[in-house]
Amino acid sequence: MKLCLGLHDFSDETFQFAAQLGVECVKVTGSELMPPAGRGVVPADRLHQLQDRLAAYDLTLDVFLLPQGPDTQYWNARLGRPERDREIEDVCKTIEICGRAGIPVVEWTWSIVDVWGSIPGENNWGRGGASIRRFDYDRVKDAQPEPGLGADADEMWERLEYFLVRIVPAAEQAGVRLALHPHDPPTPWLKGEARILSDFEGLKRVIELVPSEANGLNFCQGTVAEQAGADVIGMIRYFGERDKINHVHFRNVRGSVPKFDEVFIDEGDVDMLEAMRAYHEVGYRYAIMPDHTPKVAGDTPQGHRGRAYALGYIKALMQAVGAKPAGRRR
């Protein structure tokens, strides 16, 4: 497996920061490379330019996240509108371009509401007064959808299958593996949307809808841990043994739906050493990254200090289970 960092800017300082901490690869959010507003097809030249700059710091681009949010690349596909066919063509072309560029994993999400309902911002709920995200379903359970944006489970599954059966062949041809992110937060309903990817059965159904080496998951471990009653280690083994984990967000939480906190990587409910051991034992070989991290005293807007702590912790666990030789970067 490869230590990964999600890029929040494309500055040389950020690339140097990653290299100094032993990061091997990065993830980028497609919207940042796709003007205007994250629609259309990713420009191949912009990808190559970024890869050339990363190479100077011995970094590779290993995960490309398809644009998220309202009115981005495949927004109408999520709503089941006629425009979805044109959007799916754009997604397939983007996957093809990623494959030609040697990017092994394309991540995607399937939600209208997306990550919504957490209490963000400056607070002192975390250890030592760190700023963390908190979710309490009671605060948002009665929130209503925007007009025309609500969807029940049958609608969400029909739209997802329509999308999946078209993009998987494109991924197969491009030599790219797809990584679908579970719903965060994993509530049954949120703002009028049925959250169909909020438990083991939903994630299992996705990979069975279109059997293919290309069809897999971003195993966001924090999101899985937020699922009430989830066996996180068991799920790592289930999906990992079937080679269905194509990307990992390695983070920890305290609590689960209906209420949880996104805490430091070393103090949540999941035994992170056992989790890392499980990834190693099932032969996981792609990117693993911190994702969300608490903001600590003196941190930057991009959270460099909090991310540095999480990256160091992940690298130490990788060495502890034998996934990375101590004293060597690769």
> Which one-letter DSSP state was computed for residue 302?
T
277-286: per-residue pLDDT in tens?
999 999 999 9
Residue recorded with tokens 């690349």: 73
Domain ranges of the chain: 2-320
3-class SS of residue 52: helix
Beta-bridge mates of residue 219: 248
Averaged pLDDT of the chain: 95
User: Confidence class of residue 217 from pLDDT cuts 50, 70 and 90?
Assistant: very high
**CB proximity list for 268: less than 8 A, separation 6 or greater:** 225, 251, 252, 253, 254
Mean pLDDT of 152-158: 98
**pLDDT for 103 beyond 90:** yes
112-151: per-residue pLDDT in tens?
998 888 887 667 889 999 999 999 999 999 999 999 899 9
For Cα atoms 220, 221, 227, give the angle at the middle one, nearest 5 degrees: 100
Whether 263 and 126 have beta carbons less than 8 Å apart is answered as yes
| Architecture category of domain 2-320 in CATH | Alpha-Beta Barrel (3.20)
227-265: per-residue pLDDT in tens?
999 999 999 999 999 999 999 999 999 999 999 999 999
